[in-house]
Amino acid sequence: MNYGPIKARLDRGELVILDGAIGTEILRRDVTWADHQVLSRPTVIRAIHEDYIRAGADVVSTNTFQLTRRALFNHFRDETHRRQIGAPDLDDRADRLLRAAVELAIEARNAAADGRAVAIAGAITTLEWCFRPDLAPTPEQARAEYRETIATLAEAGCDLVLIETVNSVGEARAAVEAANDVGIPCWVGFVPDERGELFSGETMAQAEAALAPFDPDVLLVNCAPPEDCRAGLGELGEARRGPIGIYPHIGRFDPPEWLFTDEYPPNRYRREAVDWIELGARVLGGCCGTTPEHIAALAELRAPS
């Protein structure tokens, strides 16, 4: 069980390093993110995971962000339209890609961990667009869909599930309930606005109170600029007794891909992380735009074993 040593470190208040971006790192290596590339360019995905592990990541996330049947089916008017013009493998494509993505992360761990405990986190996000809480399905529908995806990730070999870039308390609760139903540890990352609140207008204190009965191992803030994530981390730290973490993005969203900028090179990112630790963060990582070099810089902050 690769999560046990990670959980023990969290319980002791030690620093845990999460990996950095996957999707934007694929783009940075001059490969499109189409179809997540887990079947068409597996060597690229595996190499990214290996690079993060060698950089010092204790937890690597699967390349499965927004990889669900809903995401595939949303391209069609309705079920009849999908049956009429859609590819014949859409019914089971999400399942196959999820399992393939987990296998690539496991292969990378086997190749690069060198005996170090590294956990595989199955990465999922909101069922609709992660910056639009108004599009969320009903809690009942969300729980059913999350349960399906999380069960597949668990069966494929994930050690935990990372529910990230969550924009509302209701969807966070549905996802955590589903993880508990499956029986897999979970971390939850909320996307904060400049005030440190959720995009729904709810507060981090409300999020902590709603999730406390379900006992997620870590609550985090992610997928916002460092200054917004810092605000969210401060709010979360005031409300949360358990471990908290942070993994901002750097750069700009340039639909449908990412605009890389140079405001936060690895050394500056590391300096910012010192403040995050002072605010109580015990999990540090990177979101869109970050690289293995950023994660290596964070790993320097970890106390020698």
- How many Å apart are CA 291 and CA 28, to the nearest integer? 9
CATH of segment(s) 3-299: 3.20.20.330
The residue type at 298:
L
- Specify whether the CB–CB gap between 242 and 280 falls below 8 A: no
Q: If we measure between CA atoms, which residue out of 153, 142, 154, 196 comes closest to residue 63?
A: 153
Work out the end-to-end distance of the chain between its first and last CA atoms, rounded to an integer number of angstroms.
20
- Hey, where are the domains in the chain? 3-299
The DSSP line for 93-139 is HHHHHHHHHHHHHHHHHHHH-TT---EEEEEE--SS-TT-GGG---H
Coil, helix or strand at residue 58: coil
Coil, helix or strand at residue 18: strand
- How many Å apart are CA 130 and CA 1, to the nearest integer? 31
- Specify whether the CB–CB gap between 142 and 136 falls below 8 A: yes
- How many Å apart are CA 249 and CA 288, to the nearest integer? 5
Integer-rounded Cα Rg, in Å, for the chain is 18
* 168-173-174 Cα angle (round to 5): 100
- For 127, other C-beta atoms within 10 Å of its C-beta total 22
Residue pLDDT tens, the chain, 305 long: 699 999 999 999 999 999 999 989 998 887 766 667 777 789 999 999 999 999 999 999 999 998 887 887 777 788 888 888 888 877 888 889 999 999 999 999 999 999 999 999 999 999 888 888 888 889 999 999 999 999 999 999 999 999 999 999 999 999 999 999 999 999 999 999 999 999 999 999 999 999 999 999 999 999 999 999 999 999 999 999 899 999 999 999 888 777 889 999 999 999 999 999 999 999 999 999 999 999 999 999 987 65
3-state helix, strand and coil shares in percent for the chain, rounded to the nearest 5: 50, 15, 35
Q: If we measure between CA atoms, which residue out of 55, 72, 56 comes closest to residue 64?
A: 72
Q: What's phi and psi for 111, nearest 5 deg?
A: -85, -30
The residue type at 108:
A
